[in-house]
Structure formats: C-alpha cells, structure tokens
Amino acid sequence: MSTGVLTRGRSALSGHRSTYIPVLVTAGLLTAMFVAGGVRYEGFATGQVVLNVFVDNAFLLVVAVGMTFVILTGGIDLSVGAVVALSTMVSASLMAGPGWPPLLVVPLVLLIGAALGLAMGCMIHYFDIQPFIVTLAGMFLARGLCYVIGTDSIPITDPAYTAVAQTQIALPGGMFVSVSVVIALAVVLAAAYVLHYTRLGRNVYAVGGSEQSALLMGLPVARTKIMVYTISGFCSALGGVLLSLYMLSGYGLHAVGMELDAIAAVVIGGTLLTGGSGYLAGTVLGVLVLGLIQTIISFEGTLSSWWTKIFIGLLLFAFILLQRLISARRT
C-alpha cells in the first residue's frame, strides 16, 4: 500500500515539474535568440533593444494576458483583434468629434470591451455554443462596428492623450520605456496575482483541467467561464487604448490578425490549448519571442516582414509537438 502511494506521489511530482518544461524551453529560446542577435548584429545586445520589444508590443502583451485566462479554461477568443480595433475607433472618434476628454473616453472604451466579453461568455455557457463560433461572431460584429463609425483612419490630436503617448520614462543607463509598458506590466502582475493567489484563479485551472470534475466539486463553472471572457474583453479594450497611444489614430484595419498573434504567444509560452496548465510568465516570454523575431528581421534588413509569420508558424509547430509529448508522458 505504501509503495503504491509513494509511486503515485512521485508520478504527481513528476507531472507537476513537467508543466515548467515549455516555459523553460521558451526562456532558453529567447536567450539563444538574443545571444545570436548580439553576435551577428552590432548594437543588438543592449538593454534598450529588449525594452524596445516591450514598447512595441505592450498592447499585444495585454491582449495575450486576457487570452491566457480564456485558453486556461480550454476556450478560445477570436474577437480580441476586432475589439482592439473597435477600441481605437471609439477612442479616436469621441476625442476628435464631440471632443470628449480622455478621462471619460478610456473608461467608456474599457466598459464596452468588458460588456462584449460578458455577452460572449454568457452565450458560450448558457446556450452551450462552441467558443470558436461565438467569438467568431463577436469578431465580425466588432469589426463591422468599426466601419459603422468610419472607413478612414481617424487621427488623435488631443493634447493630453498625445502628451501621454510621447512620454518616456527614464531608466538607469540612458534607457527608457513608454507609459504603455508600465501599464502592461501592471496588468501582468495583477493577472498573475489573480491566477495564482485567488479563488477565481484556482477555479480557472480547475475548469480547464476538467469542467465535469469542477461541476461535481461544486465550483462556480458558469461564473468562471463568463468571467474569463469578460476579462479577455476588458484586456482587449485596454490593448486597444495602448495601441491608440502607440499609433495615435483609430482605424478599422488596426490589429488585423492580432488574435492569432495572441494565441501564438500564449501557446509558445507553454499554455496548453486544451486548458488547465500554463503560466502567465510563459505568456510574457512568448510575446518577447514574437517581438524579438521582428527585431532580428528588422536588423537583418534583407528579409521581408512576412518571414516573421514563417518563423512564428515553425515555432508553433514545435511547441504544439512539445505539448503533445508532455501530455503523452503524463498519461
């Protein structure tokens, strides 16, 4: 009897440790890419290059945080890119037309994103519809609303908004980050706390591990599923605010394909597409890997930007295979 218990304990410990493997692989890949870039390109191996990856991808990081919550429950959200674009359009149109101040516009945009996520979460759970279908409909709805607002790019010229967008926060060594990076990191820290130190976080992992088991244990599955899509909608709207700070414009064609970039970052970061396993730190590393690929291609100068998609596709194949091998090892 004691031998069986000991064997099961060792097996569980081994399975727990195996969840760190994808994150460690992603960290190793990021380190290798940075070292290779430093060897090949002059001026690459500097702290500002890393910070620039954060500056250029702060909005994607926030969107990927929301996507992590959804994928951890075994779901998917295809609407995030369209919600980002809708957020930029609403922000730009309200500040350019009626002349609303940013302090009113930003909360309204975040409320719209959270409301869209809430509506999709309710449809997914109460009507038992696949998340793929519901969020696909949400994607078309949000993207269509962008063109109802306007078909052209709307510049943002509000002095306060422009001042925030152009603010550089100085760091030691002559380096700097933008306000968007600070907001994105604050979102990451808050989300990490929620996932690992709150009841909601434990419920997210439980629902992703087995929804039926979560129901039998009396966990609030409905509330959890609805909440993760609300969080995803909120993060998408906030990502749209950060993108509007980055671009200083609203446009219906902003963030086309961003939902795929967010999914790629989460998967490369080691979160299982089937749910129940993954870490927010891995998502951050996944976003950095995607950003560093773009940086390397820009330093190379001779490669088309489409090579970014090729490299991301190859990485996705590799990490999906790694996930499959880890899952097979657990069973």
Helix (H) or strand (E) holding 177: strand 175-178
Residue 117 maps to which CATH number? 1.10.3470
- pLDDT over threshold 60, residue 36: yes
Which range, of 54-58, 182-186, 321-325, averages the lowest pLDDT?
321-325
pTM: 0.92
Q: What is the DSSP letter of 173?
A: G
CB-based contact 225:159 (threshold 8 Å): no
- pLDDT over threshold 60, residue 12: no
CB-based contact 94:149 (threshold 8 Å): no
Phi-psi region of 84 (alpha: psi -120 to 50; beta: other; left: phi over 0): alpha
Please report whether residue 13 resides in a domain.
no
Please report whether residue 171 resides in a domain.
yes
CB-based contact 164:156 (threshold 8 Å): no
- pLDDT over threshold 80, residue 4: no
Give tens-digit pLDDT for 214-272: 999 999 999 999 999 999 999 999 999 999 999 999 999 999 999 999 999 999 998 98
Q: How many CA atoms lie within 13 A of 21 on its CB side?
A: 18
Q: 17 pLDDT band (50/70/90 cuts)?
A: low
- As a whole number, mean pLDDT of residues 181-195 equals 97
Q: Amino acid identity, residue 194?
A: V
The b/e string for 291-306 (b: 16+ C-beta within 10 A; e otherwise) is: bbbbbbbeeeeeeeee
The count of domains in the chain is 1
Q: Domain span at residue 270?
A: 23-34+46-330
Please report whether residue 204 resides in a domain.
yes
Please report whether residue 12 resides in a domain.
no
Please report whether residue 268 resides in a domain.
yes
Please report whether residue 41 resides in a domain.
no
Q: What angle do CA 86, 311, 304 make, to 5 degrees?
A: 75
Please report whether residue 120 resides in a domain.
yes
Please report whether residue 290 resides in a domain.
yes
- pLDDT over threshold 60, residue 11: no
From the list 129, 87, 327, the residue with the least C-alpha distance to 225 is 129
Q: What is the pLDDT of residue 58?
A: 97
